[in-house]
Amino acid sequence: MAWNVFKLCTALKGLGLIIIFLVLGVVGVTYYAVVYCNYGPDLAAGGFNSLLGLIVMIVFHALLVMLLWSYYVVVLTDPGAVPPNYRPLVDQERGETEPVEAPEFGLLSTPDPTNTRVRYCRKCNNYKPPRCHHCSVCGRCVLKMDHHCVWVVNCVGAQNYKYFLLFLFYTFLMTSFVTVALFPRLVVFLDDGKIPGSTSSLATTFFAFVLNLAFALSVFGFLIMHVSLVAENITTIEAYEKTTAIWHYDLGRKRNFEQVFGTVPKYWFLPAYSDEDLQKTPALHGLEYPSQTDFNTQEF
Ligand SMILES: [Zn+2]
Ligand SMILES: [Zn+2]
């Protein structure tokens, strides 16, 4: 097969497994530094150190479980594909409410290029639902595509955006917690030059501290950006494309939040949805999105 620039997309796909091993490697180094080099041995020390060690171990393992669970779910959940025979009835993307004439059978392969009200993907040879975009890495259209994320080796879209946000959230909590937990161990060394444990455990502690601090700082900025996007019910791609001041998918902060996280509070921090939300929230499936005209937004 001849070389072409689209091979770059294939290269990004190939990078996938390497990135997963990189993420697991960072988790492994962190686990070794926290559990084996520092707070695990403290459990047998007795007194306050044992109590502190126990608290750190419980919080660390709880955050680790949530982080790995979110990561597993966002990597393996399909962000949402366009059904093969999807046909739009109205052009919600442009805010027009005129019904679009339903195409005859077979028209999908020969759409009218002058009909600008209908969004059509020439690469997939299919109509595009509102908020859908074509991903050149995945080679297909993705429902409510936010971005293609190299870290999760997947597109982030309608059906896995919540899981991606939880992965960011737990990564931030975990890396911040580890940074704070390991800092006093380095201070002991910097203060009196005494090496707590072996030289290799000090080196691992220092390496894990720097890694977690770097991740905490970079993820924090990303997390803040996505919190503001969820609050406005807008994707990363739409934020770049948006040209009008009025965003008709903005239903107010509470409803915008529920469009991503669901309406059942006990599921907000879990990478899952209640059956009730899956049945009653069309936005979670990615084909239909309520707009401001569907709600009386005065209450917000
Ligand atoms: Zn497409
Ligand atoms: Zn993609």
Tens-place pLDDT, residues 240-258:
887 776 788 889 899 999 9
Catalytic annotation, residues: 149
- Give residue 143 CA to ligand 1 midpoint distance, Å: 10
Condensed to tens digits (0 to 9), the pLDDT of residues 217-236 reads 999 999 999 999 999 999 99
Task: Indicate whether 90 belongs to any domain.
Answer: no
- DSSP track, the chain: ----TTHHHHHHHHHHHHHHHHHHHHHHHHHIIIIIIIIHHHTTT-HHHHHHHHHHHHHHHHHHHHHHHHHHHHHHS------TT---SB-TTTT--SBPPPPPTTGGGS--TT-TTS-EETTTTEE--TT-EEETTTTEEETT--EEETTTTEEE-TTTHHHHHHHHHHHHHHHHHHHHHHHHHHHHHHHH---SS-HHHHHHHHHHHHHHHHHHHHHHHHHHHHHHHHHHT--HHHHHH--SS--TT---HHHHHHHHH-S-GGGTTSS---HHHHHH-GGGTTS----GGGS-GGG-
Task: Indicate whether 96 belongs to any domain.
Answer: no
Condensed to tens digits (0 to 9), the pLDDT of residues 83-96 reads 988 888 654 454 44
Task: Indicate whether 67 belongs to any domain.
Answer: yes
Ligand at shortest distance from the CA of 124: 1
Instruction: Lowest mean pLDDT of 46-55, 128-137, 192-201, 244-253, name the range.
Output: 192-201
Ligand at shortest distance from the CA of 135: 2
- Give residue 202 CA to ligand 2 midpoint distance, Å: 40
Task: Indicate whether 88 belongs to any domain.
Answer: no
Count of the separate structural domains present in the chain: 1
Ligand at shortest distance from the CA of 80: 2
Range of the domain at 48: 1-79+160-300
- Give residue 76 CA to ligand 2 midpoint distance, Å: 13
Task: Indicate whether 264 belongs to any domain.
Answer: yes
- Give residue 111 CA to ligand 2 midpoint distance, Å: 25
